[in-house]
Chain A
Amino acid sequence: MADLTSNFLGIKSPNPFWLASAPPTDKAYNVNRAFEAGWGGVSWKTLGEDPHIVNVNGPRYTTMMSNDRRVIGFNNIELITDRPFQVNLKEMRQVKRDWPDRAVVASVMFPMNEASWAKHIPIIEDTGIDGFELNFGCPHGMSERGMGAAVGQVPEYIKQATEWCKKYATVPVIVKLTPNITDVIYPAEAVLEGGGDAVSLINTINSIMRVDYDSLTMFPTTGGMGTHGGYCGEAVKPIALNMVAEIARNEKTRNLPISGIGGVSTWKDAVDFIALGASNVQVCTAAMVYGFKIVEDMKTGLSNFLDEKGMNSVDELIGKAVPSVTDWKFLNLNHVDKAVIDQDKCIKCGRCHIVCEDTSHQAIEYSTDSGDRVFTVKDDECVGCNLCVSVCPVIDCISMVAMTSGTDPRTGKAISSQASDWTTHPNNPLKVS
């Protein structure tokens, strides 16, 4: 069995699966249940100044579902903790005492004045928590008050607030980033400049789920009016993975530890985040959809995967896929893939044909000449775009196979073993000669 223990910034936990700062970590009752279920750590639901905020007494959550009502995406308008500061501190102290082997991180959100940080950070740290996570991500409600994403969208603010927190904290400081920006590198570099120890990402994405088809209002509403929420769940994972990988491969930030967040629902999602540079992962939506038991499969799945890969610990997986991520301009333009259909596996649905015919390169021929439906790739039209693979309902029926010799029948050009990319391509006006 591979070792799942995690050491993130010196914060130890029995596994790399933490619950993200969110409703599941709202209070001791939930967190105790989470630890009983086997979660490695929690980021306690974000603390703010007293008087505590209030929440709406209507729909806070909505989901996007498949027809069999599996949750694909999740939207929320809940704010930070709506309980008194001292109540949270008391419970955090007790929980940390009862669960010394688990990670308990305090998520915090304070206004942009140093006095507030100076006042709150030391007394929170006194509860025995393992670290801070600065919530610069919440995109709704708190951002209207100059906090959350309003800070996370301005690198100068991130740097400033991180400096304040570091000044008054002795435990590690993680800065949680918002994806509601154009380039995540700027906030990440600001964290570094402010002295932050790590970043966690992503927080939720601005979202409106749909309209109500009867009333033709947005959906859901609080008594007729609604507001945008934050989107999370499986649907946002690819957005999060890109941002994690961007930070992991950026020269300045490549050594900045990352806690990966965004749609982690299974151990495979954790593998994605960790291989693309995260050291651990945080989960919220999967727990809010299935309950805390979901962590059991995450742990055994990850452990079995590491065993299969001959890896002894999660650490060996961290960043494994990062070297494979690059800019488009460095992709090898001499590489040629062709789609290959395994006729024995093909169930003749024709989806590959019609999508290629209607929307791509007219490279899959449909024939009923023999009386059977036959779908054949036309190598002289196939550009290797992978659309057919992407829509095929059969696992491993269509694959992309690289040409290693001969001539590409589409272009008439000989296959070259020499890589050549856009930077030197004759069509590139800015090519390097």
Chain B
Amino acid sequence: MSDNNLTNKVMNIKSHRLSKKEIDDNFSDLHAPLSAIEALIEADRCYFCYDAPCTNACPSDIDVPGFIQSIRSDNLTGAAEKILSENIFGGMCARDCPTEELCQLACVRNDHEQKPVEIGLLQRYATDSVLNNGVQLFSRQENTGKSIAVVGAGPAGISCAHRLAVLGHKITVYDAKDKLGGLNEYGIAAYKTPNDFAQQELDYILDIGGITIETGMQLGKQINLEGLQEKYDAVFLGCGLGSVNKLNLDNEDISGVIDAVEYIANLRQTNNKDELMVGKNIVVIGGGMTAIDIAVQSKLLGAEQVTIAYRRSKKIMAASEYEQALAKKHDVQIQYNMSPKCLIADDSHVTAMEFDVMKSQKDGSLKASGENITLKADVVFKAIGQKLVTEGLTDNNSLEIEKGRIVVDEHRKTSLSKVWAGGDCVLDGDNLTVSAVQDGKLAAISINETLTQGA
């Protein structure tokens, strides 16, 4: 941890780059919620499509025209029920889903007028109505006597736990951290989920009862998969990716070279963002959502120059067009085809980073062009992906792992008969909150079917 904490020993790194008020303003809601009349007018734009493309595009199968129709008719509870019955994190997904690549990309209004229905904002409007008013839409079925362990209190784990609790099972959720929520609490950009929304949503979800929480419990330390299988009727792994990838450069551990994920976690947890140490010239290595998130948030904290250096071309970049545009809107520079070559340090603190400029070959591979670019940097953020921590999971080598991820079938069942998994830790996932929620839900349905078979 200490390696990654910035100190003010280096001149260009300091806190209070902006006033508290400026920072509070910067980190307020990215999109203001819809007012009642805005919601009614926007809801009226929905065509109530048959076999709706937006629903088909939703990883969690939300009946989008159905919930929008309920908004149109002032049936907000009905709207929220439609959303939350498919996706218990409908509130968070309304805030952080890349809707521009999912439901809103599929909206037929794009063909009609190049402007989709604002499905995300409408979903937030509907879910806020029950979350803010504490309207509990779910109740537990009769106790089945079965108990299930869930590892990880992120969107996948809690989604699974909630669905199983509804079905009458007893759940114990284990999480390594102090606070629940996983990346909802520690990862998602602060301006997408202000006002402690992640905890508010969790309180609502856990209010159903039947879910016991055990924090400070880490796989490979306090708990392990073998023990859980013995103790419980089933286990769901939603443990995420506990470790970050490395650049594999010689002097990678010099000060000023930081894991973006960890910095964001600090940013999410602090009550005084103006106290955070912020660099002047920041280079972000990576091309995904984390890269965009750390770049934009660095700008919002007052960094002067922020550059995302991505190894490949704009087309291939994992961050959506919308996210790239969001970064550019915040004066973040994005440079493509930049492969990290070396870190330049002075007195063991980074001062610049050198890149090979890459050229795409006909076969799609990248080759160094011979040209080099050096970017001034007092902070370098690594946002080049995370990896699964296998301690406590694979001690007896029977859990199938491929490409550093847990292998699951379409029901999110692993190679072990009592173990299911979902979220970022499984193979072929897309790292979206909404997909993690769906994984948890599908696993819960499968676990329930397995446990109640022949009962």
| A interface residues (Cβ-Cβ under 8 A, vs B) | 66-69, 347-351, 353-354, 366, 373, 393-394
A349 touches B44 (CB 8 A): no
- A394 CB contacts on chain B under 8 angstroms: 112
- Closest Cβ–Cβ distance, residue B265 to chain A (whole Å): 41
Does B47 lie at the interface of the complex (its beta carbon under 8 Å from any beta carbon of A)?
A: yes
- A393 CB contacts on chain B under 8 angstroms: 47, 112
A68 touches B41 (CB 8 A): yes
- The 8 Å CB contact of A354, one of B40, B43, B50, B109, is B50
A348-B44 contact, Cβ under 8 Å, with A67-B72, A393-B112: no
- Chain B 45-73 interface mask (CB, 8 Å, partner A; 1/0): 00111111100000000000000000010
A69 touches B51 (CB 8 A): no
Chain B residue at minimal CB-CB distance from A393: B47
- Closest Cβ–Cβ distance, residue A397 to chain B (whole Å): 10
12 new A-B pairs (CB below 8 Å) besides A347-B108, A349-B50? Answer: A67-B43, A67-B44, A68-B44, A348-B49, A348-B108, A349-B47, A350-B51, A366-B51, A373-B51, A373-B53, A393-B47, A394-B112
Chain A residue at minimal CB-CB distance from B47: A349
- A347 CB contacts on chain B under 8 angstroms: 108-109, 111-112
A351-B47 contact, Cβ under 8 Å, with A67-B40, A67-B41: yes
- The 8 Å CB contact of A351, one of B40, B44, B50, is B50
Does B455 lie at the interface of the complex (its beta carbon under 8 Å from any beta carbon of A)?
A: no
In the assembled complex, 16 residue pairs joining A and B whose CB atoms fall closer than 8 Å, in A order, are A67-B43, A68-B37, A68-B41, A69-B37, A347-B108, A347-B111, A347-B112, A348-B49, A348-B108, A349-B47, A349-B49, A349-B50, A350-B51, A354-B50, A366-B50, A393-B112
- Closest Cβ–Cβ distance, residue B50 to chain A (whole Å): 3
Main secondary structure of the interface of A (DSSP, over half): loop
- A66 CB contacts on chain B under 8 angstroms: 44
Docked pose: A354 CA to B52 CA in angstroms: 11
- B50 CB contacts on chain A under 8 angstroms: 349-351, 353-354, 366
- Closest Cβ–Cβ distance, residue A377 to chain B (whole Å): 15
Docked pose: A387 CA to B249 CA in angstroms: 67
Docked pose: A32 CA to B37 CA in angstroms: 36
- A349 CB contacts on chain B under 8 angstroms: 47, 49-50, 108
B40 touches A68 (CB 8 A): yes
- B37 CB contacts on chain A under 8 angstroms: 68-69
Docked pose: A394 CA to B111 CA in angstroms: 10
- A354 CB contacts on chain B under 8 angstroms: 50
A348-B48 contact, Cβ under 8 Å, with A67-B40, A69-B37: no
Chain B residue at minimal CB-CB distance from A392: B47
A351 touches B48 (CB 8 A): yes
Docked pose: A122 CA to B161 CA in angstroms: 86
- B111 CB contacts on chain A under 8 angstroms: 347-348
Docked pose: A68 CA to B45 CA in angstroms: 10
Docked pose: A347 CA to B108 CA in angstroms: 6
Chain A residue at minimal CB-CB distance from B109: A347
- Closest Cβ–Cβ distance, residue B69 to chain A (whole Å): 11
- Chain B 295-325 interface mask (CB, 8 Å, partner A; 1/0): 0000000000000000000000000000000
Chain A residue at minimal CB-CB distance from B72: A67
- Chain B 17-51 interface mask (CB, 8 Å, partner A; 1/0): 00000000000000000000100110110011111
- Chain B 263-277 interface mask (CB, 8 Å, partner A; 1/0): 000000000000000
- A67 CB contacts on chain B under 8 angstroms: 40-41, 43-44, 72
Which residues 89-118 of B have a CB within 8 angstroms of A? 108-109, 111-112
- Closest Cβ–Cβ distance, residue B234 to chain A (whole Å): 36
- Closest Cβ–Cβ distance, residue A67 to chain B (whole Å): 4
- B48 CB contacts on chain A under 8 angstroms: 351
A351 touches B72 (CB 8 A): no
- B108 CB contacts on chain A under 8 angstroms: 347-349
- Closest Cβ–Cβ distance, residue B318 to chain A (whole Å): 24
Docked pose: A353 CA to B108 CA in angstroms: 15
- A68 CB contacts on chain B under 8 angstroms: 37, 40-41, 44
Docked pose: A163 CA to B50 CA in angstroms: 60
- Closest Cβ–Cβ distance, residue A131 to chain B (whole Å): 44
- Closest Cβ–Cβ distance, residue A68 to chain B (whole Å): 4
- Closest Cβ–Cβ distance, residue A364 to chain B (whole Å): 10
Docked pose: A88 CA to B50 CA in angstroms: 58
- B53 CB contacts on chain A under 8 angstroms: 348, 373
Chain B residue at minimal CB-CB distance from A66: B44
Docked pose: A349 CA to B108 CA in angstroms: 6
Docked pose: A68 CA to B43 CA in angstroms: 10
- A351 CB contacts on chain B under 8 angstroms: 47-50
> Which interface residue of B43, B50, B52 has the most chain A CB atoms within 10 A?
B50
Docked pose: A202 CA to B72 CA in angstroms: 32
Chain A residue at minimal CB-CB distance from B46: A349
- A69 CB contacts on chain B under 8 angstroms: 37
- B44 CB contacts on chain A under 8 angstroms: 66-68
Docked pose: A69 CA to B38 CA in angstroms: 11
Docked pose: A66 CA to B44 CA in angstroms: 9
Docked pose: A298 CA to B109 CA in angstroms: 31
- A373 CB contacts on chain B under 8 angstroms: 51, 53
Docked pose: A394 CA to B49 CA in angstroms: 13
Docked pose: A353 CA to B52 CA in angstroms: 12
- Closest Cβ–Cβ distance, residue A376 to chain B (whole Å): 14
Docked pose: A349 CA to B49 CA in angstroms: 5
- Chain B 203-228 interface mask (CB, 8 Å, partner A; 1/0): 00000000000000000000000000
> Which interface residue of A66, A348, A354 has the most chain B CB atoms within 10 A?
A348
Docked pose: A347 CA to B54 CA in angstroms: 13
- B40 CB contacts on chain A under 8 angstroms: 67-68
> Which interface residue of A347, A349, A350, A353 has the most chain B CB atoms within 10 A?
A349
- Chain B 103-135 interface mask (CB, 8 Å, partner A; 1/0): 000001101100000000000000000000000
Docked pose: A66 CA to B108 CA in angstroms: 22
Docked pose: A348 CA to B37 CA in angstroms: 28
The 7 closest A-B pairs by CB, nearest first: A350-B50, A354-B50, A347-B111, A67-B40, A67-B44, A347-B108, A349-B49
- Closest Cβ–Cβ distance, residue B309 to chain A (whole Å): 37
- Closest Cβ–Cβ distance, residue B54 to chain A (whole Å): 11
